[in-house]
Amino acid sequence: MFLEMPFDDIAIGACWTSRGRTITETDIVLFAGLSGDWFPLHTDREYAATTPFGARIAHGMLVLSVASGLIPLPVGRIVAFYGMDRVRFTRPVFIGDTIHARAEVVEKTLREDGRGLLTIFEEVRNQRQETVAVFTARILMQR
Amino acid sequence: MFLEMPFDDIAIGACWTSRGRTITETDIVLFAGLSGDWFPLHTDREYAATTPFGARIAHGMLVLSVASGLIPLPVGRIVAFYGMDRVRFTRPVFIGDTIHARAEVVEKTLREDGRGLLTIFEEVRNQRQETVAVFTARILMQR
Amino acid sequence: MFLEMPFDDIAIGACWTSRGRTITETDIVLFAGLSGDWFPLHTDREYAATTPFGARIAHGMLVLSVASGLIPLPVGRIVAFYGMDRVRFTRPVFIGDTIHARAEVVEKTLREDGRGLLTIFEEVRNQRQETVAVFTARILMQR
Amino acid sequence: MFLEMPFDDIAIGACWTSRGRTITETDIVLFAGLSGDWFPLHTDREYAATTPFGARIAHGMLVLSVASGLIPLPVGRIVAFYGMDRVRFTRPVFIGDTIHARAEVVEKTLREDGRGLLTIFEEVRNQRQETVAVFTARILMQR
Amino acid sequence: MFLEMPFDDIAIGACWTSRGRTITETDIVLFAGLSGDWFPLHTDREYAATTPFGARIAHGMLVLSVASGLIPLPVGRIVAFYGMDRVRFTRPVFIGDTIHARAEVVEKTLREDGRGLLTIFEEVRNQRQETVAVFTARILMQR
Amino acid sequence: MFLEMPFDDIAIGACWTSRGRTITETDIVLFAGLSGDWFPLHTDREYAATTPFGARIAHGMLVLSVASGLIPLPVGRIVAFYGMDRVRFTRPVFIGDTIHARAEVVEKTLREDGRGLLTIFEEVRNQRQETVAVFTARILMQR
């Protein structure tokens, strides 16, 4: 995986696709409890049935959190998870959907402090290869 | 809180500050397990002691997730959590820090489908009023 | 919600109805683990099928605990959750049922220490508006 | 333990004392997440330090829930956990306190349907033998 | 149960059968998060469907862990859980299966330090009485 | 890591050492709840203080479970986790200890069904490089 390579060796355009993970009712209940976000679209079956989605869906932040775990950062060269840009939730994730993440290197910047800033475009897809979320991650690396 | 008002009544510049929540070791362990992100800066005390941070810190995504729960979305007018822009993790959150979130309305856009897109600048601060994360949230509302 | 008002302004007979929450298999498994109550009516599908209920049901204490979260106590005026009287579990809550809580002020007492004791009758109902639990909560408030 | 005996053999005045369990920060965080009760006296260290308690305390419902697990109901004769009367939270439970429960049979009633209603007075104590909660449990048994 | 007897009174061949516990999707998700074992046979529904098992199965270590909880060790005489021999996972445990454990005393050894080493053969079975795991546990006891 | 190689290429004596993970009070509380094993040496601080260990220690099965997650099985060639032999818990793991796992290939056997049985000796060590548990894992692989 490209994150295991030294910053200078990582090629723009390098790609990596993760394993899958099924999003369960348990994940949604646990995330509601951990985040404190009880919005009824995620936690009330009766309410969710009355929305255009028709059923409970995963929190957007849960989808991002799972994606962050699917793309493991190797120890050693990573300094910090710096931030994200243009995070968009493009489709609902329902209970039982299986998502995976795809990461592509889109930019490399040398910073004045000698570190490298890696820009990665990440796409989260479900089992039908539909994109459910996209974002651009910024990761600070040692050189 | 401004999210409880109709879209047309929400004023640019309206602000709201949440209650606080202490980030515990438990939150970090639960988030590692739920996200699958076991980066040792969050889960290995010995490793974390060797980094510039000096101790385990909360995952950036955990801080965002807790912030999303501290700013509750009211039922009725909210259509969807649309996305985020310029998410930045500006300071570490250590075990025992107490964070709260501050939200300010920065933009309102009418969409062609008749819905309103609300842009909110959110700042997460610790008990010393230091900013630990910032992001711009986009929320789709009924009018 | 009446608990956000000063003690002296709260009217006998004031009512409030909460959002709903679906009780999932996850909630029952988590509650068994947290409470240590593994009574097989809650945790053994085969055993539960042989009882008059016919299926696993939620712990009574889980129903009460969820109810306590559905009726949020505002910060500032609440001194303590003093106690409960006449707690009765009147119908089973099955996996997938969605419950909400209804609170009604039934009594206000001034205590010698100058604080107010608020007595609230709470009713927990499922999605068919059947009462599954009732209790009388006693809340100590600043005046 | 008296609950393992047939209803007719249980003596008024029979007592049983449970093992102990330490209430951890984890229990409070998990209970906040499961119940949805984020009252800051339980979840905000800074706020709790400003109250007469001086530190975060366990939710009253968590104390009851743990007590219900410390006094295991045997399979076979128990029909249902019928309800509770006069639940009182008499002292705070702090993180690190170790509680146990003591149960004493105070009443036996034969119901018209041929079942027995057992009334048990329960006392939850901490490691200094101070009473932190009391309640009267009603349990319906086969004869 | 034989573990509640003094070491010298425990008979070779003594048996005990536990209550049952249904293995839920929640248990598998929680165990993946607690152990960090995300092998897709346990966590990816799509992948699991392509294996000979045809569906997600419980981690072997989860089955052992649940078995250890089904056979409670009494306080007082137990010094330590010393180890296990010949642990074998003989059949898959699927979501919804209900397992119980059966323990049989197969050996008693007096150690030079005056303690007793009890050897117990444990069998975990599902609701169809099929054996899903076996192991031999070694428990160190006071005499 | 050797498990990522084809069975025929794996060398006897090949070694791999995992990242570390700090065992927290949270892990012990979660494991007690998931396994149902409330033995007071793990869950009662007062009791644990009276034992030779002097403080609460992690469940042996928790140590094994964490070890199983520290040594990830790659998808594709692994058929099943077949079993373990000679599992021994050699030292206590206290809250705050950081453990890692070391795996060494000790045997390869061709089975009649054409599959390979890999025997791995695993050692779990704490931050002082003391061995806290050992076991021999048997893993069934495709060839």
| Residue F28: closest C-alpha in chain E | E34
Q: What percent of chain B has pLDDT over 70?
A: 100
* DSSP track, chain E: -GGGS-GGGPPTT-EEEPPPEE--HHHHHHHHHHH----HHHH-HHHHHTSTT-S-B--HHHHHHHHHHHSPPPTTTEEEEEEEEEEEE-S--BTT-EEEEEEEEEEEEE-TTS-EEEEEEEEEE-TT--EEEEEEEEEEE--
**Paired strand residues for F57:** F94
Instruction: Say how far apart CA C10 and CA B104 lie, in whole Å.
Output: 32
pLDDT of residue F72: 83
Residues of chain D positioned with their CB less than 8 A from the CB of B25: 25
Question: Could you list the residue range(s) of the whole structural domain that residue B30 is in?
Answer: 2-141
Alpha carbon separation from E67 to C33, E72, F37, F61 (Å, rounded): 15, 9, 9, 10
CB contact, 8 Å: A31 with chain B? yes
Q: What percent of chain A has pLDDT over 90?
A: 85
Using the beta-carbon criterion (under 8 Å), do D38 and A34 form an inter-chain contact?
Answer: no
CB contact, 8 Å: C8 with chain D? no
| Residue F25: closest C-alpha in chain B | B26
Query: What's the mean per-residue pLDDT of chain B?
Result: 95
| Residue A41: closest C-alpha in chain C | C21
Residues of chain A positioned with their CB less than 8 A from the CB of D32: 33, 36
pLDDT of residue F81: 86
pLDDT of F76 higher than 90: no
Residue F113: partners with Cβ closer than 8 Å, 6 or more residues away: none
For the segment B1-8, the average pLDDT, to the nearest whole number, is 88
pLDDT of residue E22: 98
For the segment D81-105, the average pLDDT, to the nearest whole number, is 96
CATH code, domain carrying E52:
3.10.129.10
Residues of chain B positioned with their CB less than 8 A from the CB of F98: 44-46
Ranges of H-type helices in chain B: 25-35, 40-43, 45-49, 60-70
Residues of chain C positioned with their CB less than 8 A from the CB of D35: 65-66, 68-69
Using the beta-carbon criterion (under 8 Å), do D38 and B19 form an inter-chain contact?
Answer: yes
The alpha carbon of residue D142 is apart from the nearest alpha carbon of chain A, in Å, by 35
Q: Answer yes or no: are the C-beta atoms of A26 and C26 closer than 8 Å.
A: yes
Domain count, chain E: 1
Closest CA to B102 of B8, B19, B23, B11: B19
For the segment D68-96, the average pLDDT, to the nearest whole number, is 91
* Minimum mean pLDDT range among E72-81, E88-97, F27-36: E72-81
pLDDT of residue A4: 86
pLDDT of residue B15: 96
| Residue D46: closest C-alpha in chain B | B98
Using the beta-carbon criterion (under 8 Å), do A46 and C20 form an inter-chain contact?
Answer: yes
Instruction: Say how far apart CA E21 and CA C24 lie, in whole Å.
Output: 17
Alpha carbon separation from C125 to B4, C20, C133, D143 (Å, rounded): 25, 9, 7, 31
pLDDT of residue F4: 86
Residues shown for chain A: 143
* Minimum mean pLDDT range among B20-29, B105-114, D77-86: D77-86
> In 3-state terms, what secondary structure has residue B26?
helix
pLDDT of D58 higher than 80: yes
pLDDT of D65 higher than 90: yes
Q: Which of B27, B28, B34 to substitute to test the interface with E, most E CBs within 10 Å?
A: B34
For the segment B54-66, the average pLDDT, to the nearest whole number, is 97
pLDDT of residue B92: 97
pLDDT of residue E143: 85
| Residue ranges of chain C with per-residue pLDDT less than 70 | none
Using the beta-carbon criterion (under 8 Å), do C37 and D83 form an inter-chain contact?
Answer: no
Residue C5: partners with Cβ closer than 8 Å, 6 or more residues away: none
Quick: pLDDT tens for E111-143. Answer: 999 899 999 999 999 999 999 999 999 999 988
Q: What is the pTM of this model?
A: 0.97
Quick: pLDDT tens for A22-75. Answer: 999 999 999 999 999 999 999 999 999 999 999 999 999 999 999 999 998 877
Place of tokens 């397992």: E99
Q: pLDDT category, A139, cuts 50, 70, 90?
A: very high
Quick: pLDDT tens for F92-124. Answer: 999 999 999 999 999 999 999 989 999 999 999
The alpha carbon of residue E69 is apart from the nearest alpha carbon of chain B, in Å, by 21
Using the beta-carbon criterion (under 8 Å), do E98 and C26 form an inter-chain contact?
Answer: no
pLDDT of residue D67: 97
Using the beta-carbon criterion (under 8 Å), do F33 and C33 form an inter-chain contact?
Answer: yes
Q: What HEC string does chain D produce? A: CHHHCCHHHCCCCCEEECCCEECCHHHHHHHHHHHCCCCHHHHCHHHHHCCCCCCCECCHHHHHHHHHHHCCCCCCCEEEEEEEEEEEECCCCECCCEEEEEEEEEEEEECCCCCEEEEEEEEEECCCCCEEEEEEEEEEECC
